[in-house]
Amino acid sequence: MAAKEGSKDMSIDVDEVATDGDVVLIVGSNKTKLRVHSLFLKTASKVLGAKAGTRTSEGQDISKDDAQEVFLPEDDVGAMKTLCAVIHLRSHAASDAFTPSEVLKIAIAADKYDCIVALRDASGHWLKPAENGSIDDLKFLMAAAYLFDNARAFKEITAALILHHTDSYLALAQGQVESLIPRKIFCMLKERRSGTRLKLQQVLVNSAMYDSSDCRCGWADEYAFAYMALLEREILLPENMLSQSIAHLMQRAEQMDGPTPPQKDFSCEQAKGHRNEATQEARRPLHRRSPGREHYSKPNVPDPAVVEGEMSFKIIRVF
């Protein structure tokens, strides 16, 4: 909407983003007034600069009382306040205490007015997921990171979604988010989660296998049976994994105790081979030695931090 001049409703308080500002933005249905400076608008955003009209571009000396009004009825007041505070270098006014949905509103405003670059540094602080945040929070932050074109934040947020979400990702592509992020991204999330879950299944199941072809005591078979029974008790068999988040599966696997094969009443001639250093070293890619147990080593479950770094992905806006 083009800038408009008209009678000023002085009954409405003006939020002084710039005390000497020559432009007043009238935002939202409540017509909240934000006093800003045209120079900062033009520097940060060609779109907002154009909306400021021609008077400021002609170098006229416009007084505070004669500030030009620009109507933005469709914009969110909180988002525009933050956007204006940042581009006017009032970083202290742009608090870090934003909810993920508020961060998304700021990102939408920044994308609309083409001032992503001006908010790049500030937005980096807003895009950090909370430790106990919900899946909806991650969804909003993912969309915001996509709009802000922040590859690092997008990588961290999508990694968290891969680790913690159990349901369909397409269910997240609803409402406002659906128009902001290509559906291809949600399909890629599903693909990465499936690949990570498969890798975890392979680690857990392969840990039951013990290469001891020369051993005739039957310990390897009993160990494998006891180990699979343990996975069943811990709800870690492949058929149980679909209903659990990858982060939860990793936690259960790391906390899992060792299997207890039946004790034999005779000595195995190859007992030393069950636990010698060469055998343990050969099995180390799939196992981590558990102190105090001669035959058992914990499955070497991928560290969530490693998964975030290696199994997640970054998407630059090339669609």
CATH assignment at residue 23: 3.30.710
* 124 part of a folded domain: no
Which residue among 95, 118, 142 closes a domain? 95
Among 45-54, 240-249, 282-291, name the one with the lowest average pLDDT: 282-291
Range 270-290 average pLDDT: 44
Reported as a single tens digit per residue, the pLDDT across 298-317 is 455 444 444 343 333 333 33
Q: What is the pLDDT at residue 306?
A: 40
User: What is the secondary structure of 56-71 as a DSSP string?
Assistant: TTTT----GGGPEEEE
Please indicate, yes or no, if residue 155 is contained in any of the structural domains: no
Is 110 among the domain residues?
no
Sign of CA dihedral 77, 83, 86, 88: negative
In a domain, 298, yes or no: yes
Domain boundary at 95, 127, 143, which?
95
Chosen domain end from 57, 77, 95: 95
Residue 173 has pLDDT above 80, yes or no: yes
Instruction: Please give the tally of structural domains in the chain.
Output: 2
For 131-168, the pLDDT digits (tens) are 888 999 999 999 999 999 999 999 999 999 999 999 99
Q: Using an 8 Å Cβ cutoff, are 283 and 297 in contact? A: yes
- In whole angstroms, what is the distance from residue 291 CA to residue 203 CA? 20
Given this model, what pLDDT does residue 26 score?
94
Indicate whether 289 belongs to any domain.
yes
Which range marks the domain in which residue 295 is found? 199-262+274-306
Contact 50, 113 (CB under 8 A): no
3-state secondary structure of 4: strand
**What integer pLDDT is reported at residue 246 of this predicted model?**
93
In this structure, is residue 23 part of a structural domain?
yes
Contact (Cβ atoms closer than 8 angstroms) between residue 115 and residue 43: no
176, part of any domain: no
25: in domain = yes
The mean pLDDT of the chain is 78
Question: Greater confidence, 217 or 18?
Answer: 18
318 pLDDT above the threshold of 50: no
